[in-house]
Amino acid sequence: MALSESQIPPDAQHYLVCGTEDCKKNCQFYCNDCHHPMCEQCRDEHQKNRKTMNHELVPYKQRKRQLPMQKCKIHPTKDIDLLCEECQIPLCSKCATTKEHRGHVFTDLEMVFTEKCSSCNAEITKIRSNFEPTSQDLKQEIARDVTEIKKIMEGIRKSVKAESEALKKLVDTVTSDKMEQVDKIEQSLLQTLNGQNQEIDDYINYLNDLVKTFYGYLSPLNIEQLTFALKSENVIIRPIPETSKPVPPVFTAGQYSKEDVAKLLGRITVPNIKPQNRKIKPMETASIQLKPTGKQRKQERQISDVKQTLSLSSSVTKVREYTVPGVPNLFHISLGKSGRLWVSDWSGNLIQTDLQGNQLQKIQTSGMSEGYHTVTQDGDLIYTDKQNKVINKITQNNAITKFIETGDWTPFSIHSSQINGDLLVGMRKENEGKVTRYNKTGTEIQNIQRNNKGQELYSLPHYITENINGDVCVSDYYKYAVVVVDKSGQHRFSVRGQRSGFDPYGICTDVLGHILVCDKRSENVHILDQDGQFLSLLLTKQQGVRCPCSVCVDDEKNLWVGQLDHNNTVTVYKYLQ
């Protein structure tokens, strides 16, 4: 649906309409000679006109860049439109006639400008397809090495501690043996000294008895005994018993150093090996690996065929409406197989219904106003559980199983890739957001969190989808933006409102690579091309849309829209022709 210039919203990046006067149809083609965008009808008229029938008309994305208008500094009335091949400077046609450039060869500057633009685009493609993915691979390899090094060093720490504990136990054992030896020596020496002490005590008792005897001899009544005693041999006093001083043991300190102990605890050495350079894929190898598989080539051919036969319609037509029982409002829609769909509301009700409005299944979840469920290629429903930080799977036999645990991160939005079956999950932890990619088995294979400047890409990714070229497209609740990265995780662009009126909710893509996003606040559905250029307001309040929150495209290329203020009705529109 084309809009006049006054109707273009303030947050629009670019409104792509036919450049022909009074024609406001969607622009699809470009005249490289006139530098004029045009719709299909104007292109046909351009080709029929005798004056322009030989002009080069190409699809808009293949257009030549128009040479920027720049006046010559020497001849202000002339435009710079030539390049002097010998002097390699741009100049005007009048400069080319001066003697400074006499005999020189001149080239159309617009041709040179186009070639340079093509060269720049080729370099951008080379960077995107080889240098950036290879650099990301190296970052992941380095991260794995960091994890491995930490694991190895922790192992060495444990080994050193184990050696130390073993040595401590050995020291304790030897210490105990030496203490026992000291106790035995002490006991032996004390036993000898105690024996000598007892012998001296006996001798002193002997002396005391002898003194008493001699005192008895001194009595006047015992003169005869004294005389007899002095003649007797019994007067001889026994000598003092011999004793000896003990020889105590001597402790000789051990002869050891810190180095000796270090030897006992083993050695930590860094091998004298030159580090190997990380392998970088050569351009030739990378280009071979980037070639699509047979299945991908088939998909690309099908998409190319569709693009040639489909385009944006000049008007949007309501096809049909479906009433979904059990939900007061519609925040997210997931289309399943066999004409069945899943819808969810603000209160966590997740309902499966058929196209006749019959409720087939109802689940109470912790989800609210986010795109927290998706249908896989196999027809299974996958949904996030914010409260328990897990991702559940409902198979076609209605069995609910816990599929993935997300750890400290709370999962909000989820999308099952129709390209390869991967799961893209928008998560949040504290004030940070990220997108994690899992394969079909639930193995984590990619984390997207920051741009190449280290800045956070997301705050709260509450709706998520994937484009036909593998781009990951996210509606961020707190950033009021649509954030798009390529399949390697490199930031491509962000679409933000220039004022606070842009409030992106549900988001989806179609077979032409268009990005369709609900703007709940202005009550519009925007349509962008795959490079983020605004094309038009596909649905507006004037068409009866009320707070659109969810969008998805079915196999028939029709757009399904769920609204907040439209009770429990899903509306289907035809917007491609």
pLDDT in tens, 336-354: 877 789 999 988 999 998 8
pLDDT tier at 289, thresholds 50, 70, 90: very low
For residue 71, which phi and psi values (nearest 5 degrees)?
Answer: -80, 145
**Predicted confidence (pLDDT) per residue in 237-268, tens digit:** 889 999 999 999 988 888 888 888 888 888 88
Q: Do 12 and 5 meet the contact criterion of CB atoms below 8 Å apart?
A: no
Find tokens 């202005």 and name the residue.
522
How far apart are the C-alpha atoms of 162 and 168, rounded to whole Å?
10
pLDDT, tens digit, for every residue of 49-105?
Answer: 988 988 988 888 777 777 788 899 999 999 898 989 889 999 998 999 998 898 899
pTM, 2 dp: 0.53
Give the range among 174-188, 271-285, 472-486 with minimum mean pLDDT: 271-285
The residues, any chain, with a CB within 8 Å of residue 486's CB and separated by 6 or more, are: 128, 469, 470, 471, 472, 492
Residues 6+ positions from 404 with CB-CB distance below 8 Å: 390, 391, 423, 425, 438, 442
**Tens of pLDDT, residues 477-535:** 988 899 999 988 899 999 986 445 688 999 999 999 999 999 988 889 999 998 888 88
CA 320, CA 396: separation in Å to the nearest integer? Answer: 27
- Pairing mode, strands 106-108 and 524-528: unpaired
Q: Which pLDDT score is estimated for 473? A: 96
Q: Is the pLDDT score of 288 beyond 50?
A: no
Q: How many angstroms separate the Cα of 493 from the Cα of each of 65, 484, 530?
A: 21, 6, 10
Homologous superfamily assigned to 311-576:
TolB, C-terminal domain (2.120.10.30)
Q: Which residues contact 544 (CB under 8 A, 6 or more apart)?
A: none
Closest CA to 3 of 408, 305, 239, 314: 314
pLDDT(31) > 60: yes
- The domain ranges of the chain are 127-251, 311-576
**pLDDT greater than 80 at residue 420:** yes
Beta bridge partners of 481: 476, 496
423 neighbors 411 (Cβ within 8 angstroms): no
Tokens of 188: 């032996």
Residue 12 corresponds to which tokens in the numbers above? 């629009």
pLDDT tens-digit readout, 121-139: 778 878 887 888 888 889 9
Contact 438, 405 (CB under 8 A): no
Q: Which residues contact 558 (CB under 8 A, 6 or more apart)?
A: 319, 572, 573, 574, 575
